Amino acid sequence: QQQQQQLPVVSVLEVGMGTFPNAPYYVQAMKDSGMEELGRLDIISLDPNDSMFQYAKTNAETCGLLSSTTTTTTTSSSS
């Protein structure tokens, strides 16, 4: 039996993501490190302003970061 090679997974926590202006930098870093075709990048975002989600998602799509990913959003409000 042939063993499957494990692909690298990089997880990043973006605190205060806003409109996700860092998206192009992640794309470039993946290209520079060779992970573009060989690995996976998981970006977890945290932002107190729920209205930023759609802007951040659009920016990620524009940069090509959502081609094969599922995005979810969870909001909570304090009483």
Residues 6-26 as b/e (b if ≥16 CB within 10 A, e otherwise) read: eeeeeeeebeebebbebbeeb
Mean pLDDT across the chain, nearest whole number?
80
pLDDT at 79: 46
pLDDT at 15: 95
Kindly report, residue by residue over 54-75, the tens digit of the pLDDT.
999 999 999 988 865 455 666 5
Query: Model's pTM, two decimal places?
Result: 0.69
